[in-house]
Amino acid sequence: DLRSGLTLTADRRLALRNIAVDLGGNSLTGQADLALNGTPRITANLRTGALDLSALSDETAETGGSGSPTTAGLEGWSRQEINADWLAAFDGDIALSAESIDLGQLALGPTRAVLHNDRARMVFDLQDMSAYGGKVAGEFVVNNRSGLSVGGKLTAQGVQMRDLLEDTAGVTRFTGDGTAALSFLGSGQSLDAIMRSLSGNGTLSMGRGTIAGIDLDALLGSVDAEGGSTVFDSVEATFDIAGGVLRNDDLLMLLPNFNATGAGQVNLGARTLDYTVTPKALRVNAARGGLAVPVRITGPWADPEIKADLRAAIDLNFAEEKQRAEDVVREKIQEELNIAPDDSRSTEDIVKDELENALKRELFKLFD
């Protein structure tokens, strides 16, 4: 339903004033000017209350390659082809103010944005957006000039990470306020293709928060670490994205009794994790210093497997003792087998060679 004052000039310019439009339950007001010579050019200023665009997300999920919205969320990104031909239908600049925007998978608060569209390339200039308790700014680009691509540069401040990760990835283990910066680019005719092609980089900084499902304090105390939660004071990390895989090797997490570093990858296309967090106790004993126990996180990111890497823990914490034990074993073998001390072969090679020599000697005896 559309109501508006209308003026059409001789040079095919259409002026709409006091617009009141109802688009399937979404009400907008404002004004617009349309130049109708060639490709229509729109200059508009629109305002709305609660803008509900969830139907667009629901349609994509229901008709995507994974079936229903529920199974799509479990099995992966939608493979439904995205038709962006509508971007070529007009050019122009549209300013939009909304009290809230429901995108189905994302829920946004008060938003002020300007949409610039030029020959099937639309730039969303996010001038002021409230989302998940924080603020988001930057630009988001949808380009359909020669195949569909999306990209952007975004910053977020004070965002509640648990709500954001739950809506976007089904992850509920993290809580805390986060500040992030992200630059990205992806291409493809479906959401699945875009996610598997993503490239870019970014940073993440979080204040005090928690990680559910693992208690790192208990782990360092040689207690079952599963089922509890970890409280951290801060998290800092940078990352790079290539081929839909996010890689990070400098995560630093500060906790009351220990620090933790992290490195690994997040496969954004396949929605899987392969990441190792290594907490190190700040004080265990004066002789050894901090105890480090790597924790491996693998599997689908909505429900990953979390377990301590004991082999890596031994290598990290008992390297000196391990080397001393190997030296003792080597000396014993050299003594028993009458091997020169300066023999450069490894202990394994010495044993293997001597065993082969012994077998040869026994075989030769058969022909004596």
- Bridge partners of residue 102, in order along the sequence: 52, 107
Give the C-alpha distances (Å, rounded to integers) separating 306 from 59, 146, 237, 262, 275: 35, 43, 20, 14, 10
**Strand 41-52 and strand 91-102: pairing?**
parallel
Question: How is the chain split among helix, strand and coil, in percent rounded to 5?
Answer: 25, 50, 25
Query: What six digits make up the tokens of 311?
Result: 């082999």
Angle at the Cα of 156 from the Cα atoms of 154 and 161, rounded to 5 degrees:
125
Question: Do the beta carbons of residue 193 and residue 62 sit within 8 Å?
Answer: no
357: buried, middle or exposed (CB in 10 Å: 19+, 13-18, 0-12)?
exposed
Residues in the chain: 368
User: Would you tell me how many other CB atoms lie within 10 Å of the CB of residue 9?
Assistant: 10
Q: Which residues contact 161 (CB under 8 A, 6 or more apart)?
A: 174, 175, 176, 177, 178, 206, 209
* Cα 81 from Cα 193, distance rounded (Å): 10
* Cα 138 from Cα 155, distance rounded (Å): 6
* Cα 222 from Cα 216, distance rounded (Å): 10
The SS3 of residue 312 is helix
Tally of CA atoms within 13 A in the half-sphere of 275 that contains its CB:
25
pLDDT string in tens for the chain (368-residue length): 999 999 999 999 999 999 999 988 899 999 999 999 999 999 999 999 998 887 765 544 444 444 434 344 456 888 999 999 999 999 999 999 999 998 877 888 999 999 999 999 999 999 989 999 999 999 999 999 999 999 999 999 999 988 888 877 677 778 889 999 999 999 999 999 999 999 999 999 999 998 887 776 666 654 444 557 788 899 999 999 999 999 999 999 998 778 889 999 999 999 999 999 888 876 544 444 456 778 888 999 878 888 876 565 555 555 555 556 566 666 666 666 666 666 666 656 666 665 566 555 555 555 55
What is the b/e burial string over 239-256, where b = at least 16 CB atoms within 10 angstroms of the residue's CB? Answer: bebeebbbebeebebebe
